[in-house]
Structure 1
C-alpha cells in the first residue's frame, strides 16, 4: 500500500502494468483521498474521474495514463496491490 500523488498540470505516459490482472490473481485498488474534476484516469481511451473516499478497481493491465489538469489541486490516492481473494472477488459485480 502506498500514497501516489500527481501534481497540478502533470500527466503520465501511456503504459500498462501486465501483472495486475484478475486472471493472474493480483489486483490494484485505489482510494482517492484528494481529487479534482480535472484529475482523470484514461483507461482504454475512456476518461474516469474517481470520487474521493470510494474504493475503485481498474484493469491496469490495459493501456492507461493519469492526467491532472487542475491548476491548484494535487491528486492523491491510496493505492493497494493485493492478491485477489475469494472475499475480495465477492465485492466485484458478476459481469
Structure 2
C-alpha cells in the first residue's frame, strides 16, 4: 500500500518542514489550512504558496468567526500574554 498523507499546513516553518518531508515519502498527499479570520493573513498566503511549490492539493477550511472571538489570535485589541518560563 502506498503512503498517503494529510498535512495541516499553517504556513509556518514547522508545518512546511513536515510537508516537505512527507512529500519525499509519497506522491499521494493533501494539505489543509484553517482560516479562522486570524490576524496574520500572511499565514494563509504562505500556506498557498508552499502547497503550490510542493505541487500538492490544498484546501482552506473556513472556521466560523465567533469561535475565537475573545482571542488575541483574531482580535488586535487583545494583547498577547507574555510569560517568563523558568529554566532552572
Query: TM range, normalised to the smaller chain?
Result: under 0.3
Please give the TM-score of this superposition, normalised by the length of structure 1: 0.25
Whichever of the two has the greater Rg, that structure is 2
Looking at secondary structure, tell me which structure has more helix per residue. Answer: 2
Of structures 1 and 2, the one scoring higher in RCO (CA 8 A, sep 6+) is 1
In the superposition, the TM-score normalised over structure 2's length comes to 0.26
